[in-house]
């Protein structure tokens, strides 16, 4: 593999891995903060126990999200220095603001929350976790603004003297139309992940305490039931928000990146005037050729997804390719062999993303039904669902990202710079081999450690209630490393 | 040039913040096997309770802070990207392998700090201890090598891409390992060690406090010799009046810190090493100006002017900095104030996995 291939693989591996933890961090911090605040309001001991229990899972996860994020920040300069030179004027600003506004908040207030038991007045202490949550959301905003610029560059002009893209309107960068639909989509999806994790863990524990019911398990059962149902409600509501924002996103995408929408459906030919575009739920073969075989096809749905009307015009890839060739083939930074992205990857990830989301929503709806009144679904086949539903939401996010990033190829910045011109010219293949190998091995090992640790803590469950109180100078702390 | 100068100064501030703050938590990490006891053994048949309690006390002194301290690095790198994209691109792609090493050791060190206390079995705890110790030694070493290289000079060449010229690193990983750069790495590591000893003396009570102070007495002079050698070596090739003055004050601050530590004035000792680290950064930036990266020998320099973002981006960044930096500093200070009390081994709760 050459440097370009390697750098792309490294970016894919490190980014997808990083983004396994990010949505959990966003979603779970909100639920932990909610439980913590509920405890202060209601003095319901179970809520404090849940806040601490989920807080532990949160911190285990946060650690990995953070360290893999640092790699991301360095990677643009290390592997994509031409890209960094070309758009640094615009792209660097949101990254720097993310650190200044979001990362300091997250890390400082998480430190205050973890070590603050018995040291900080309780309302302020609970507020710390809310601030952590705000930090995670702010962070998502800035990084998505940066990403949206790559999808749909706005607020810039090319300076002929410096040969680079320069900022002309920062507000436009922060309110990019792609950003305005991508941000709600990612945030609702993240709440869905948080909800599904709490639902999955709650249901697993609920079934467990019900099975080995002992004398004092009534409180535990009530506690886990509450978490299960809370998680399910969050999953459903967020899932609804995600569906709506995803639909809006489809329309913006058809508008600004029509090639990506066409690739999502493997639509080669623009349907004749007056005819709508169908959506295929399942296709066998034909994704590389000119004649795909759709097994299940829903008439006109693609037109609706793309334009909001059942007979809207959706352009096919062949027409777009000709358009882009005429427009871009002469530019030094914009030449490409083809302007069609890898179709099979986009096609399948688009469907896997939606399928995973709808699956988790269906499980959540069923869980709400199955746990109504005092019921606990004890059937053996329920157990896999406690793992599959949260997993589906997390993987759904990954599929979504793979779709959105592969779907914009060959562009790194749409219409301005192709990915192959973005790579570092001074970095050799050996260096990238080494770093890709190191990160892959390290990330793999850390994944094993993290999963083991999470399972360990889930198995142990919530600790017994302990009344928090302010610590005096000479007595042991409530929490220390 | 005004905005470029402002951002050059702000980067010096960010690096100072990073090295002063994370400097002491690196120092604490390095001292884990020394002040905590127990050496570097990855496997011991059982956790020695005395060792374990001492190590936990040491780690708890930095527990609420190390993560926030590290954000200064992330901000420094992010700000370089935003304010000086060519600096960011040349530095990160040019020093590829050292930065890869830095990322790896930071990852392992962070995971150690976060995961060490999540389980109580000996192998688990001791292995993470090793990543904390190794990370705390190697991270400042690599940062020292990287920063010293920027000042001392890198082999560079002018590239022409289309109509635009830019200055690019033109060497291999071996060209980064000059004696001066390695001395820079070693000096920063030993400075962090001294700084960490002063911090522990300031933040703990009981035997740890006096032992840390005594250890500071031993490593302080070594740090002083290294710092003088480094600043003279760099000064001979890159120095000018202002940088010599600042370097001199940095050394005086270090000597004052050593003296303060000897007299048991721990606050002043810590202030002194903070000043030394900060002034060394200032001296580095003076020797760098008006360049972002000095060229080695006949190599062209990467000037700040050539590396900088457009005036609009710099203006936006300046406003964001003006508004949000005081807020950030405010809650950072509050966090340090909240956890201001000295810790002793008596403050350690029994080992428990019941808290997050």
pLDDT recorded at residue B354: 47
> How far apart, in whole angstroms, are the C-alpha atoms of residue A337 and residue A103?
40
Candidates A315, A192, A175, A293; CA nearest to A244 is: A192
pLDDT(B355) > 50: no
In chain B, pLDDT over 90 holds for what percent of residues? 74
Q: Would you call B64 and A456 a contact, using CB atoms and an 8 Å cutoff? A: no
Partners of residue B161 on adjacent β-strands: B164
B306 contacts B86 by C-beta, under 8 angstroms:
yes
Residue A96 is nearest to which of B75, B94, B170, comparing CB atoms? B75
Contact in structure between A459 and A51 (CB atoms under 8 Å): no
User: Contact, A341 vs A409, CB < 8 A?
Assistant: yes
Q: Check CB contact under 8 Å for B75 and A89.
A: no
Q: What's the pLDDT tens digit per position in A423-467?
A: 998 888 999 999 999 999 999 999 999 999 999 999 998 888 888
Q: Give the pLDDT confidence score for residue A437 in this predicted structure.
A: 93
- Chain B from 72 to 101: CB within 8 A of any A CB: 74-75, 77-83, 85-86, 88-94, 96-97, 99-100
Inter-chain contact A108–B325, Cβ cutoff 8 Å?
A: no
- Distance separating alpha carbons of residues B122 and A201, to the nearest angstrom: 28
Q: Give B168 or B281, the one with higher predicted confidence.
A: B281
Locate A385 and state its tokens. 């669902």
Q: How many CB atoms lie within 10 A of CB B228?
A: 17
Q: Do the Cβ atoms of B115 and A466 come within 8 Å? A: no
Contact B63 A480 (CB under 8 A): yes
The DSSP code sequence of A167-229 is ES-HHHHHT-HHHHHHHHHHHHHHHHHHHHHHHHHHHHHHHHHHHT--TTHHHHHHHHHHHHH
Q: Is residue A240 over pLDDT 90? A: yes
B187 touches chain A (CB under 8 A): no
Residues of chain B contacting A474 with CB distance shorter than 8 Å:
346
Q: Using an 8 Å Cβ cutoff, are B156 and B168 in contact?
A: yes
Distance of alpha carbon A57 from alpha carbon A200, whole angstroms: 13
Listed by number, the residues of chain A in 56-85 with a beta carbon closer than 8 Å to a beta carbon of chain B are 56, 58-60, 62-64, 66-68, 70-71, 73-74, 76-79, 81-82, 84-85
Neighbours of B97 (CB within 10 A): 17
Q: A413 by DSSP, 3-state: which?
A: strand
B339 contact residues in A (CB cutoff 8 A)? 115, 119
pLDDT the model gives residue A309: 79
A318: Cβ contacts below 8 Å, ≥ 6 apart: A268, A269, A270
pTM here is 0.93
Q: What is the mean pLDDT of residues A121-132?
A: 94
Residues B238 and B152: beta-carbon distance below 8 Å: yes
Residue A377 pLDDT level (bands cut at 50, 70, 90): confident
| Phi and psi angles of residue B164, each rounded to the nearest 5 degrees, phi first | -105, 140
8 A C-beta contact, residue B197 and residue B31: yes
Give the residue-averaged pLDDT of B289-298: 90
pLDDT of A294 higher than 70: no
On the question of a cis peptide bond just before residue B135, with omega within 30 degrees of 0, the verdict is no
Q: Does A99 touch chain B (CB under 8 A)?
A: yes
pLDDT computed for residue A244 by the predictor? 93
Q: How far is CA A155 from the centre of its chain?
A: 25
Q: Closest residue of A to B342, CA-based?
A: A473
Nearest to A339 by CA among A263, A271, A421: A263
How crowded is the C-beta side of A27, counted as CA atoms within 13 Å? 34
Assess whether pLDDT exceeds 60 at residue B44.
Answer: no
C-beta atoms of A60 and B116 within 8 A: no
Q: State CA A284 to chain mean position distance.
A: 29
Question: Over the stretch A58-93, which tens digit does the pLDDT of each residue have?
Answer: 999 998 998 999 999 999 999 999 999 999 999 999
From B332, which residue of chain A is nearest by alpha-carbon distance? Answer: A108
- Residue pair B169/B154 in contact by the 8 Å Cβ criterion: yes
Query: For B169-220, what is each residue's pLDDT tens digit?
Result: 888 889 899 999 999 999 999 999 999 999 999 999 989 999 999 999 999 9
Bridge partners, residue B168, by sequence:
B157
Backbone angles phi, psi at B291, to 5 degrees: -105, 160
| Range list of H helices, chain B | 2-35, 49-62, 66-83, 85-94, 96-115, 122-152, 179-203, 207-238, 241-262, 266-288, 304-307, 311-338
Sign of torsion over alpha carbons A386, A387, A388, A389: positive
- Looking up tokens 């889930």 gives A458
pLDDT at B84: 94
- Is pLDDT at A136 greater than 90 in this prediction? yes
Contact at 8 Å (CB) between A117 and A479? yes
Distance CA A402, CA A447 (A): 20
**Residue A34, number of CB atoms within 10 A of its CB:** 20
Give A75→chain B minimum CA distance, Å: 8
Mean pLDDT of chain A: 89
On chain B, the residues whose CB falls within 8 A of the CB of A430 are none
**CA nearest to B347, candidates B83, B20, B38, B59:** B59
CB pairs under 8 A between A and B: 264
Contacts of A87 in chain B (CB under 8 A): 85
Distance of CA A362 to the CA centre of its chain: 20
CB of B164 less than 8 A from some CB of A = yes
Mean pLDDT confidence for B119-130: 88
In whole angstroms, what separates CA B224 from the centre of its chain? Answer: 17
- Give buried/exposed letters for B303-331 (b at 16+ CB in 10 A, else e): bbebbbbbebbbebbbebbeeebeebeeb
**Each residue of A186-204: pLDDT tens digit?**
999 999 999 999 999 999 9
Report chain A's terminal Cα–Cα distance, integer Å: 45
> What residues pair up with A296 in beta bridges, in sequence order?
A282
pLDDT at A293 over 80: no
How many CB atoms within 10 Å of residue A365? Answer: 14
At A341-364, the pLDDT tens digits run 988 889 889 989 999 999 999 999
Q: How far apart are CA A402 and CA A279, in angstroms?
A: 20
| Cβ under 8 Å to B: A residues 320-339 | 332-333
pLDDT at A1 over 90: no
Tokens of A398: 């990954």
Mean of the pLDDT values across residues B137-146? 97
> Where do the DSSP E strands lie in A285-405?
293-298
**Residue A452: partners with Cβ closer than 8 Å, 6 or more residues away:** none
Cα distances from B128 to residues A18, B17, B110, B112, B131, in angstroms, run: 21, 27, 10, 5, 5
Paired sense of beta strands B291-293 and B302-303, if any: antiparallel
Nearest C-alpha neighbor of A387 from the set A359, A368, A365: A359
Beta bridge partners, A283, equal A294
- A480 pLDDT tier (thresholds 50, 70, 90): confident
Q: If you average pLDDT over residues B105-116, what whole number do you get? A: 94
Which residue out of A426, A433, A439, A445 would a mutagenesis test of the B interface target, given it has the greatest number of B Cβ atoms within 10 Å? Answer: A426
**Closest Cα to residue A204, out of A377, A61, A54?**
A377
Instruction: Name the one residue in this structure whose structure tokens are 């992010």.
Output: B78
Interchain proximity A427–B77, CB inside 8 Å: no
**Measured between CB atoms, which of B68, B166, B356 is closest to A59?**
B356
d(CA B274, CA B262): 17
Please classify residue B267 by burial: count the beta carbons closer than 10 Å to its beta carbon, then call 0-12 exposed, 13-18 middle and 19+ buried. exposed
Q: How confident is the model at residue A269, as a pLDDT?
A: 79
User: Cα separation of B102 and B90, whole Å?
Assistant: 17
Two tokens, residue A452: 């083991």
Which chain B residues are closer than 8 Å to A105 by Cβ?
Answer: 328, 331
Domains of chain B: 3-155+170-342 (1.20.1630.10)
């Amino acid at each position: 593999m050459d440097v370009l291939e390697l750098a792309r693989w490294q970016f894919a591996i490190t980014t997808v891995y990083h983004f396994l933890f990010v949505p959990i961090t966003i979603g779970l911090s909100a639920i932990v903060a909610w439980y913590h605040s509920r405890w202060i309001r209601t003095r319901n001991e179970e809520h404090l126990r849940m806040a601490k229990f989920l807080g532990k899972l949160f911190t285990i996860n946060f650690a990995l999200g953070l360290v893999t994020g640092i790699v991301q920040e360095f990677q643009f300069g290390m592997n994509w220095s031409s890209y960094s030179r070309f758009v640094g004027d615009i792209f660097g600003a949101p990254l720097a603001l993310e650190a200044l506004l979001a990362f300091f908040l997250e890390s400082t207030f998480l430190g205050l929350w973890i070590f603050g038991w018995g040291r900080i007045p309780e309302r302020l202490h609970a507020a710390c976790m809310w601030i952590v949550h705000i930090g995670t959301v702010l962070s998502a905003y800035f990084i998505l603004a940066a990403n949206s610029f790559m999808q749909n560059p706005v607020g810039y002009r090319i300076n002929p003297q410096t040969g680079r893209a320069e900022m002309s309107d920062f507000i436009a960068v922060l309110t990019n139309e792609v950003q305005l639909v991508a941000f709600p989509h990612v945030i609702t999806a993240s709440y869905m992940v948080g909800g599904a994790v709490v639902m999955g863990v709650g249901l697993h524990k609920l079934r467990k305490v019900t099975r080995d019911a002992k004398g004092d398990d009534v409180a535990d059962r009530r506690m886990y039931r509450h978490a299960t149902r809370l998680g399910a409600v969050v999953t459903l509501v967020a899932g609804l928000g995600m569906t709506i924002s995803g639909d809006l996103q489809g329309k913006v995408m058809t508008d600004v990146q029509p090639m990506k929408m066409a690739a999502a459906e493997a639509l080669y030919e623009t349907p004749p005037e007056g005819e709508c575009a169908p959506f295929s739920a399942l296709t066998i073969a034909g994704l590389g050729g000119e004649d795909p075989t759709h097994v299940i096809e829903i008439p006109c749905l693609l037109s609706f997804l793309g334009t909001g009307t059942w007979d809207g015009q959706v352009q096919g890839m062949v027409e777009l390719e000709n358009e882009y060739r005429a427009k871009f083939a002469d530019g030094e930074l914009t030449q490409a062999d083809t302007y069609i992205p890898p179709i099979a990857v986009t096609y399948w990830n688009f469907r896997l993303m939606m399928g995973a989301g709808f699956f988790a929503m269906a499980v959540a709806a069923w869980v709400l039904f199955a746990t109504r009144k005092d019921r606990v679904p004890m059937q053996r086949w329920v157990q896999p669902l406690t793992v599959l539903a949260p997993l589906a939401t997390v993987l759904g996010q990954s599929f979504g990202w793979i779709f959105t990033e592969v779907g914009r190829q060959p562009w790194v910045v749409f219409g301005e710079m192709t990915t192959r011109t973005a790579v570092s010219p001074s970095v050799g293949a050996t260096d990238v081999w080494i770093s890709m190998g190191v990160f892959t091995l390290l990330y793999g090992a850390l994944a094993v450690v993290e999963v083991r640790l999470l399972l360990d803590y889930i198995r142990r469950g919530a600790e017994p209630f302990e009344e928090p109180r302010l610590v005096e100078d000479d007595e042991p702390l409530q929490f220390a490393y | 040039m005004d905005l470029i100068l402002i951002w050059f100064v702000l980067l010096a501030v960010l690096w100072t913040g990073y090295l002063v703050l994370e400097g002491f938590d690196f120092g604490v990490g390095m001292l884990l096997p020394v002040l905590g006891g127990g050496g570097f053994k990855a496997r011991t048949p059982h956790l020695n309770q005395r060792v374990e309690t001492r190590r936990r006390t040491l780690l708890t002194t930095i527990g609420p802070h190390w993560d926030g301290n590290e954000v200064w690095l992330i901000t420094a790198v992010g700000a370089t990207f935003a304010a000086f994209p060519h600096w960011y691109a040349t530095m990160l792609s040019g020093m590829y392998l050292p930065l890869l090493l830095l990322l790896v050791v930071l990852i392992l060190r962070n995971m150690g700090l976060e995961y060490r206390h999540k389980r109580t079995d000996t192998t688990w705890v001791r292995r993470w201890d090793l990543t904390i110790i190794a990370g705390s030694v190697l991270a400042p070493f690599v940062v020292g090598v990287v920063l010293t290289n920027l000042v001392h000079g890198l082999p560079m060449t002018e590239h022409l891409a289309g109509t635009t010229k830019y200055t690019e690193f033109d060497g291999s990983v071996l060209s980064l390992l000059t004696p001066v750069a390695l001395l820079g790495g070693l000096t920063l590591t030993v400075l962090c060690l001294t700084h960490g000893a002063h911090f522990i003396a300031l933040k703990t009570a009981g035997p740890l406090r006096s032992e840390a102070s005594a250890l500071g007495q031993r490593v302080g002079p070594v740090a002083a010799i290294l710092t003088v050698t480094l600043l003279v070596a760099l000064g001979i090739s890159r120095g000018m009046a202002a940088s010599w003055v600042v370097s001199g004050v940095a050394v005086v601050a270090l000597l004052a810190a050593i003296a303060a530590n000897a007299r048991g004035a721990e606050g002043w000792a810590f202030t002194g090493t903070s000043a030394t680290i900060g002034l060394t950064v200032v001296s580095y930036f003076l020797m760098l100006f008006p360049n972002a990266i000095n060229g080695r020998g006949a190599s062209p320099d990467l000037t700040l002017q050539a590396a900088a973002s457009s005036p609009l981006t710099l203006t936006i960044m300046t406003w964001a900095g003006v508004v949000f930096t005081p807020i950030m500093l405010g809650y950072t200070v509050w966090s340090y104030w909240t956890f201001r009390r000295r810790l002793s081994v008596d403050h350690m709760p029994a080992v428990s996995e019941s808290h997050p």
